Structure 1
């Protein structure tokens, strides 16, 4: 592999315009194919394993146009005056005239008659193309606009408006890119060197986005999957390019010409990038064990983005480095004004940690465990109207409904009774007498007489923990043939399912990642220790996320005006992505430590030198990824906000507490035991060198005048 990567770097640096032209052709072709054969992103909220899905399927089978999307319209007179019947009748007529609207309820007036609640039922699910985004939302806005013009407050809540108002605006992505560019300029001291990683990442991401669109042409891809793919692809793309450019600049500083510097950067750092990306892809494939098809689409879409930015990094970086030449060097170096020689900060830090490894390790471990402690009390719940910003109509509708009708009116249960097994009225009476239920509607039997349907309003809001308990209690107490369904019971099922599935994902990702690291570093201790530390940093990130959102600590800085549960989608998604990203940094750091260890046999010194040589680039890469993720945390959608914030926190902890303290401290304590591998395992375990720098090989390469001569070095370059 080293020979291939060396040739690739040397060749692309020697002929940069060929590579750049080829990439432009690839980008145009990718967008052309995506436009011709790509599909549209589509959510599938059916959950076959959920108990509530049984009731939904019964409604679809027996109720004409049943089991479709719903929306709530709430009208309020701010002056406190009673609403006029003519206004409400006109509203009902406008709502009934909308496409796919099959029924509109009679306005439910509040006790003081200044508020009315109307529910709209559709004949297609909320994921139907005719309802997605503005197609379903704009007709609702048009229907309530006359009321707003008349001075009334009219808001939209429920299932359909919630999906439309959570669309990504893209401002967070732009802010993250700008912040990343500033950090790159500071890190390199050269505008050219700073812009290069960003340009490479964006080029790769463009192809990746087209690839995700093509994926949508052959399978259902969630509307949120491109956001996650962009978030991860942009972060790792910049990181991979940054590592390669850093090594290239190092070799330029040693006096090598730009082509040879590109070849050697690819043969060393390029190899680390390849295997680091492999750990990310392994983690993403773990999403398939999340139990929901939507997780698989997250994994596939993000994998396409990672592969695209990897390809861009391995080809465009050496090409652009060859084109830029000495302009990659800081201005002072180009003007022969070398900076004062002094020991790098990371080297001084590494020496300090190595002097007191026990204290450093205990302090870091204690800090991470304290941060992780709130995770034990984390409560997960899918996003609903209560978690949105007060700037959204959905949140204003939620608050109005809660004030006028009770919090449970925002998430009523639908009870489906099989008339051959139970008496609908008796079931309704039993439900009405259940503690925690404030009211039920009259059961309505379907035209075919097979089932009877009524609604029950809980006393608590959908996200209240007692609501899930009430769903479980009703299912236990009610006779056979009765299903408790609706959006809130479906959410309760989803939350419980995902809480159990996370351990399957953790087991797969950890096991495969440990095996890969064992092959790369010829050690049992290093991969196991890396897995434990990654779990610690992710657990600490969960804890901070819980404090910020569930307990409201600093939530106002994130646009959250009250405590909200952590989204049920977040723990599995965060783990799969973060474990791979953390392994990125582990590969970057350990490859340099192992390289030094193989050359010197100095266990303690190799830790110091490895951290000193990679500390700055890892810190810079982490800082860039943090600002990219924080950019996404500024979006209005609570799930995206939580994901961006949680991942930013995890990267901060991983790049500082773990990589800069815990890893060097524990490796110093373990010494030669870091590289222990049983003989029997060494014989059967395939060998993968993450990164090595053979001085004799470089000396021989210096004498090579033609790339064809490199073929004779096959046996000397391991892969």
Structure 2
């Protein structure tokens, strides 16, 4: 591989005015097609074959049309109404305002008028719930909080069927109209907040994060290169790589339904990897300029060595991202594929556009030079850098540095034992949003569990007609017997008489673990009830769906890790021609992941350190996304740093000397790459979306811990302790593993033959 990349690097450097226009045409063509053919992205986060789908099947059979409200992309809306302080919604003036509100909603053209709206006060009165002692079993499902002993009659809910088919179809004007329809009621003194998907704004990345990441990357690269012009080259390649990848994703929307979160992940990956790979190649090019006869030769050698490492580093990232498809979750599959496209373009740009840019800039690349930084250039073997000092320290006391790294990672990992997963619901919205206010007002009136009702759909087909009432009573009593259940409503029979629907209201919210346990227990009770009565039922609703998704995603982590780690392990055996180096690299990753989960739980779930004012459970799909992304990046740093050590070892250095020399040359570039990654990911903390915040933090923490503690402390310590064994490969495996020559050893033979040919020509003359 090194020979092919060497030849290509020289060609692209020499034929720069051919390569650069080709890239310009490709970039403009992709951008134009993407802009013209782009279709709206979707927000469908559904998963196939969830247990909650059993309830959907029963609803479709016995309650036609009702299951539509439980789809992920359904447009739902509930108005939560609060009475003025010291008043009740049953007071004539306030009730009149409620009736006027319903009239206003019925005049909205976005409301499905085939389904009449219900006056919550009148409904509660018809149910006999406004008497001094309302019947608990009858009135527990009333749309007015009549059972609240402290402030009864002060909060009501009105569920509104909207005629808009999918969440992605909701426009800003329609969202505003739905909210503004309650203005008259608000002016009358009522508090009216709107929950449901109709009130949730579709949030796209603001772009500030990318700009901040680019700015930090520029400063880091100026320091890394000791020159200004060279620092802009990776920025250029990042813009081209990300632009091309994003355009291709937009182009894909013309033939596929692609989730909107795809571009968010592609942006993070595209910027970070493009800059990292360019940084690695330019750093090696700077070193080769000092030891080669020409800039063209230096470019070819840099691409042969650093470029080979980039290829395999990129492949590990792509494997990790494409491997997300094994989870079987559609939006995760597309997010992984989008990130893989961005990673692929990062590699492609680094290998093809980069050498042409080096040729175009020529002698201006490392000008103007910054004397204070340049005099500590790690590519100068006569300079003692901080990287060399750290490497020598590790070389002297490897057992101590290894122990310190493990202890720090272990302490950070401890909070991960309390990990609680959930999906971003209405309780995770900004406190100033109407959705969050509606959640809190409903909690105040009906209890937090009212925001995550368990909808139990019952199939009575196999139950004898004379035992159906008894079977429903037994089911209701069983559900109500659980300690975490607040109350269960009376069953509502279907028109055909073969089905029924009842709601169980938990005591805690949708993302609470006790609520998820309640879903599990409710489903487990079906076997006994079915054996006695022949009854079948399914449990759905927000809480049930959240619990199902958590279970599915957690169950996929182990097979995902096995597939991705196995593939990457084989790939790294090819790179390092060693068993122990890839193995220790993978084990070190497990430590950094545990520590990352612990730090994320500590800050985002437990609310420690005061960084988050509104802590919540960790987003369900974050762990598997985090593992996939950081594993790929961790192997990047493993390749960047350890290939230089192997190169020194292959060229005759002892294991300890190889570690120190490789660390000396690679520490600055890995440090710079990690800081850039941390900056790009960490800048997403500025986004308003809580999912983007937590993912940005987790990725930044993962890179920080893995790069600086695992790759730059733990792995070098192990290499010194293992000595020659670090580079051991069984003879039988050595025979079948192809030598891909990442360290560029074959270039010496190529140059030797070229030199001999020149000498023979000279002698012949």
Query: TM-score, normalised on structure 2?
Result: 0.86
Question: Partner of 1:632 in structure 2?
Answer: 684
Give 1:685's match in structure 2, choosing from 737, 753, 759.
737
User: How far apart, CA to CA, are the structure 1 residues paired with 2:277 and 2:157?
Assistant: 53
Counterpart of 2:675 (choices 616, 620, 623) is 623
In structure 2, how many angstroms separate the alpha carbons of the residues matched to 1:152 and 1:190?
64
2:99 corresponds in structure 1 to 89
Q: Are the aligned partners of 1:249 and 1:328 in contact in 2 as well (CA < 8 Å)?
A: no
Secondary structure, aligned partner of 1:691: coil
- For 2:537 and 2:330, the matched residues in 1 are separated by 27
Give the Cα separation in 1 of the matches to 2:720 and 2:269: 32
In the alignment, does 2:578 pair up with 1:523? yes
2:552 match: 497
- 1:354 pairs with 2:364: no
Distance 1:336 1:571, change over 3 A: closer
| Deviations 1:64-111, CA, capped at 9 Å, x for gaps | 432233322223356444452333233334444353646445433344
Note the C-alpha offset of 1:278: 0.5
What corresponds to 1:115 in structure 2? 155
What is the match of residue 259 of structure 1?
296
C-alpha contact (below 8 Å) 1:66/1:123 kept by paired residues: no
Match of 2:507 among 459, 462, 486: 459
How far is the alpha carbon of 1:377 from its aligned partner? 2.2
Q: Which residue of 2 aligns with 1:712?
A: none
Partner secondary structure for residue 651 of structure 2: helix
Check if 1:590 corresponds to 2:642. Answer: yes
Distance in 2 between the 1:338 and 1:376 partners?
Answer: 47
Greater C-alpha radius of gyration: 2
- Partners of 1:161 and 1:621 lie apart in 2 by 41
In the aligned structure 2, how far is the partner of 1:174 from the partner of 1:695? 40
Indicate the larger mover: 696-705 or 446-455: 696-705
Q: CA deviation at 1:323?
A: 2.0
Q: Does structure 1 conserve the Cα–Cα contact (< 8 Å) formed by 2:229 and 2:367?
A: no
SS of residue in 1 equivalent to 2:169: coil
Q: Is the 8 A contact 1:165 1:392 kept in 2?
A: no
- The offset of 1:432, in angstroms, is 4.0
**Worse overlay, 35-44 or 192-201:** 35-44
- 2:666 corresponds, among 599, 614, 617, to 614
Match for residue 713 of structure 1?
none
CA contact (8 A) 2:155 2:445 kept: yes
Displacement over 6 Å in runs of 4+: 333-337, 701-706
* Structure 1 pair 666–81 and aligned structure 2 pair: CA distance change class (3 A): same
> Is residue 192 of structure 2 the alignment partner of residue 154 of structure 1?
yes
What is the CA deviation profile of residues 224-276 of structure 1, one whole-angstrom value per residue up to 9, with x for unaligned ones? 12111211121111101111111122223446543332222111111111111
Q: Secondary structure at the match of 2:503?
A: strand
Consecutive unaligned residues of structure 1, counting only runs of 5 or more, are 710-719
Question: In structure 1, what is the Cα distance between the partners aligned to 2:454 and 2:437?
Answer: 21
Task: Report whether the alignment pairs 1:544 with 2:599.
Answer: yes
Structure-1 residue corresponding to 2:54: 54
User: Cα distance 1:332–1:227, how it changes in 2: closer, same or farther (>3 A)?
Assistant: closer
RMSD: 2.8
Q: Which segment is superposed worse, 423-432 or 350-359?
A: 423-432
Please report how far the alpha carbon of residue 211 of structure 1 lies from its aligned counterpart in structure 2 after TM superposition: 1.4
Contact 2:228 2:366 in 1 (8 A): no
Matches within 5 A, 1:250-289: 250-254=287-291, 256-289=293-326
Q: Secondary structure at the match of 2:422?
A: coil
Flag the 1:190–1:112 CA change in 2: closer, same or farther, 3 A: farther
- Say if 1:417 and 1:453, in contact at 8 Å, map to a contact too: yes
Determine the C-alpha separation between the residues in 2 that align with 1:701 and 1:240: 31
Secondary structure of 1:417 counterpart: strand
With 383-392 and 274-283 compared, the bigger mean Cα shift is at 383-392
Residue among 721, 726, 731 paired with 1:674:
726
- Separation in structure 2 between the aligned mates of residue 352 and residue 606 of structure 1, nearest angstrom: 14
Which of 343-352 and 245-254 deviates more?
A: 245-254
Aligned equivalents of 1:23, 1:117: Cα separation in 2: 58
Q: Measured at CA, do residues 357 and 406 of structure 1 come closer, stay the same or move farther in structure 2, by a change above 3 Å?
A: same
Q: Is the 8 A contact 2:488 2:504 kept in 1?
A: yes
Q: Displacement of 1:186 after TM fit?
A: 2.8
* Counterpart Cα distance in 1 of 2:20 and 2:103: 59
**Number of the residue aligned with 2:539:** 484
Q: CA deviation at 1:647?
A: 0.8
Q: Bigger shift: 573-582 or 77-86?
A: 77-86
Summarize the Cα distance change of 1:91–1:57 in structure 2 as closer, same or farther, 3 Å threshold: farther
What secondary structure sits across from 2:192 in the alignment?
strand
CA contact (8 A) 1:43 1:220 kept: no
Indicate the larger mover: 230-239 or 420-429: 420-429
Aligned residues: 701
Q: TM-score, normalised by structure 1?
A: 0.91
Aligned to 2:520: 472
Instruction: Supply the distance in 2 between the matched residues of 1:338 and 1:176 (Cα, whole angstroms).
Output: 27
The answer to whether structure 1 residue 418 and structure 2 residue 455 are counterparts is: no
Alignment of 1:233 with 2:281, yes or no, is no
Structure 2 residue matching 1:390: 3-state secondary structure: coil
Correspondent of 1:72 among 58, 73, 78: 78
